[in-house]
Amino acid sequence: MKKKLILGSLLALIIVIMTGCRSGENGEVYVYSYGDYYDPEVVADFEAETGIRVIQDTYDTAEEMYPVIKNGSAEYDVVCTSDYMISKMKDEDLLYKLDKKNIKNIKNLDADYMKMAEEYDPGNEYSVPYIVGVSGILYNKKMVKGKNIDSWDALWDPDFKNNIVMQDSVRDAFAISLMRLGYSPNTTNPKEIEEAKNALKEQKKLVYKYANDSARDLLADKSAAIGVVWNGEYIYTHDLNKDVEFVVPKEGSEFFIDSWVVPKRAKNKRNAERFINYMCKAKVAKQNFDYIYYTIPNSTAIKTIPSKYVSNPAVFPSKETIARCTLLKNLDPDTTKLYSDSWKEVKSK
């Protein structure tokens, strides 16, 4: 779901070693998030304002992050991750309840998005929304042969063979296949999952590449004609190639809320809450929007964003669009394994 920041392996090793011996409320905060998900200058400003040193590490998918937090192979104070994974971590008692008196800037967040977040965090007790968005189809209007792109069916069109970029993520890929078939992306029905798996296996012969962060670049440089991206990638890609357009398919799509949480193993909980509070500042949220162009739930900051962005449905999806989209939910272990095994079968054939 996002731009990547590759940190050196030496830094990662140092973090793993040092977190094992940390204790107490130190003048530091260890942050674990999707790569390149906020402006580096924000970190420098936070350090200058608070005197708290920020040590950062990144991951690509929520599934990669989860065992790190679950097994305690490295200890982090604050994590940015996705809705369904927050539900899973909360249910497994891996998260602290947040002390909201330390996060007063949460008042800047839009009430509608806070309500949506209660689907995975009732009462907003464990998480604070940071970035929201929808999955959709990014396509080059000069390369799709005049076809109307408004359905997930386009990703199964043989005319686009070797020109399709598909998401390389089990839940995201299955969400697309399931919604195309008229099923819920959160289904636990084995027959529906089987049907979606078979559709993905059939699609595979048409796919140019399975990708996440690099999908936008493949569309920008015309390596592919059509692919799946998150709406926040639209501005970046369109700036590089004016022929690309973004659409949320008529069948509906996946809606996400990425939020800040504090793991139970955090040694610097107060500093983590100060970091979250800082990220909720209107000027900071605006600065981060200018850096990544993902939809933000900070209504105070939105008032300061130019109308050309706020009025663009690819950047800020309408309430009508969001209404036909679905948040992924944490699934029971047996169903999770079924999805995982099915995805392995898709990728291996």
pLDDT greater than 70 at residue 262: yes
32 vs 18, more confident: 32
193-243 pLDDT tens trace:
999 999 999 999 999 999 987 899 999 999 999 999 999 999 999 999 999
Interacting residues of 218 by C-beta distance below 8 A, sequence separation 6+: 165, 208, 209, 211, 224, 227
Distance, in Å, from the CA atom of 66 to the CA atom of 52, rounded to the nearest integer, reads 26
- Residue 339: per-residue pLDDT: 97
Q: In this structure, which amino acid lies at residue 111? A: A
Distance, in Å, from the CA atom of 245 to the CA atom of 257, rounded to the nearest integer, reads 23
Distance, in Å, from the CA atom of 203 to the CA atom of 138, rounded to the nearest integer, reads 17
User: Parallel, antiparallel, or unpaired for β 128-140 and 253-261?
Assistant: antiparallel
- Residue 14: per-residue pLDDT: 42
pLDDT greater than 70 at residue 2: no
Q: Can you give the C-alpha Rg of the chain in angstroms?
A: 20
Residue 214 half-sphere exposure toward CB, CA atoms < 13 A: 10
On whether the CB atoms of residues 85 and 172 are closer than 8 A, the answer is: no
Interacting residues of 165 by C-beta distance below 8 A, sequence separation 6+: 207, 208, 209, 210, 211, 215, 218, 219, 224, 226, 227, 228
- Residue 214: per-residue pLDDT: 85
Q: Which two tokens stand for residue 330?
A: 């944490």
pLDDT greater than 50 at residue 6: no
295-328 pLDDT tens trace:
999 999 999 999 999 999 999 999 899 999 999 9
User: pLDDT > 90: what percent of the chain?
Assistant: 87
Question: pLDDT grade, residue 145 (50/70/90)?
Answer: confident
pLDDT greater than 60 at residue 105: yes
Note the pTM of the prediction, 2 decimals.
Answer: 0.85
Average pLDDT score, the chain: 91
Question: pLDDT grade, residue 73 (50/70/90)?
Answer: confident
Q: Which two tokens stand for residue 22?
A: 């940390």
190 vs 72, more confident: 190
On whether the CB atoms of residues 36 and 3 are closer than 8 A, the answer is: yes
Say what the alpha-carbon torsion angle 157, 231, 193, 336 is, to the nearest 10 degrees.
Answer: 150
User: Mean per-residue pLDDT for 154-181?
Assistant: 96
Q: Is the dihedral of CA 37, 43, 44, 45 positive or negative?
A: positive
Helix%, strand%, coil% for the chain, nearest 5:
45, 20, 35
pLDDT greater than 70 at residue 18: no
- Residue 25: per-residue pLDDT: 60
21-72 pLDDT tens trace:
444 466 999 999 998 899 999 999 999 999 999 999 999 889 899 999 999 9
Distance, in Å, from the CA atom of 282 to the CA atom of 61, rounded to the nearest integer, reads 27
For the chain, where are the alpha helices, taking DSSP H only?
A: 9-19, 40-50, 62-71, 83-91, 111-117, 170-180, 190-204, 215-220, 234-240, 269-279, 282-292, 299-302, 307-310, 319-323, 333-348
Q: Which helix or strand (DSSP H or E) is residue 56 part of?
A: strand 53-59
